[in-house]
Structure 1
Amino acid sequence: MDAKEISLNEKEVKPIVDLLNDYLANYHVHYQKLRGCHWNIKGQNFFTLHVKFEELYTEAQTTIDEIAERVLTLGKPPHSRFEDYVRESTIKEIDTIGMKDLAMVDAILDDMAQLIAMERELLLATDEADDDGTNDMVNRFMQFKEKTTWMLRSFAGKK
């Protein structure tokens, strides 16, 4: 399958696929960070954050699958090696062992800010290419992260 089969211009879709693969790489590092936070959370916020981090990594896992499937829908292969994810991601790995609970929240908020910035870039690119399918998908992901950012900021007592 290629982009022509879903009435998209192959040339206009290539930058979108590249952005989606970068987005996929960042999402994988973010996902693993969420898992590390879930596994290593300690302290008085344990019960709240343990559940929240699990909710977020479960959502991230579903999102990762949708991103990869969208790349395939556009007729290209998604990146699939962790080595590539770590190399290409602007979101960096962290060691969550011994990390304080609110520092974990801050790390996740930083990731979400980076992912939202990538989503905004994707929305512009998909709009230019008339790629409504990718645009709708990314917009849905961004709305989830915007709401989650608000909730985590409120939890952490941030403005």
Structure 2
Amino acid sequence: MNTNLIGLDKVGAEALAEQLNHLLANYQVLYMNVRGFHWNVQGANFFELHAKFEEIYDQLLLKVDEIAERILTLGHQPRHGFSDYLRMSQIDEVKGVRDGHVAIEHILSAYTLLLSQQRKILSQASELGDEGTVSLMSDYISQQEKESWMLSAYQGRGA
């Protein structure tokens, strides 16, 4: 049998799960970065950015769980070691940022990378006929496009 439990081609599902593991690594590193921004932000915009960063890392944590569960649904194992995440992630670990505007620039840069990666995964999943992953990526893309616009507007530079 060349299909997995949910009826997808096994080889295609394995390749997709690998791409999702890379996405998971990016999300985990970004999650920790934003946690740090939340903890360390200072300045006149402290209260609003402290709350905003918490909102963002809460969203990221939900996505981490959804991505890991999607990998499992495809019949594969999500990576779960931070050494793996740091090795696999295209998003760099960021430490010691206290300036909210610098933190937002890091988030925007990460979203740009995630959007590109998620569009590739969406295309790959679509070719495989994996509507579950397509739907997940579509939701993430839509949310991050809007969040990117809003954060850019906050920075005073528009979309």
With normalisation by structure 1, the TM-score equals: 0.95
**Are 2:157 and 1:158 aligned?**
yes
Aligned-residue CA RMSD (Å): 1.2
Report the Cα offset of residue 11 of structure 1. 1.2
Report the Cα offset of residue 96 of structure 1. 2.8
Name structure 2 gaps, 5 residues minimum. none
Question: Does the aligned pair in 2 maintain the 1:15–1:125 contact within 8 Å?
Answer: no
Name structure 1 gaps, 5 residues minimum. none
CA distance in 2, matches of 1:146, 1:131: 23
CA distance in 2, matches of 1:123, 1:28: 20
Cα shift readout 1:122-156 (whole Å, capped 9, x = no counterpart): 01100110100011011111111111101100111
CA distance in 1, matches of 2:87, 2:101: 27
Q: Give the number of equivalent residue pairs.
A: 157
With normalisation by structure 2, the TM-score equals: 0.95
CA distance in 1, matches of 2:143, 2:44: 26
- What does 1:127-146 align with in structure 2 at a 5 Å threshold? 127-146=126-145
- Greater shift, 16-25 or 137-146, is seen at 137-146
**After TM superposition, where is structure 1 displaced by more than 2 Å over at least 4 residues in a row?**
none
Q: Which residue of 2 aligns with 1:115?
A: 114
Q: Which residue of 2 aligns with 1:17?
A: 17
Report the Cα offset of residue 12 of structure 1. 1.3
| Amino-acid identity (%) | 38
Report the Cα offset of residue 3 of structure 1. 5.5
Letter of the 1:145 partner, please give it.
Answer: Q
Letter of the 1:147 partner, please give it.
Answer: K
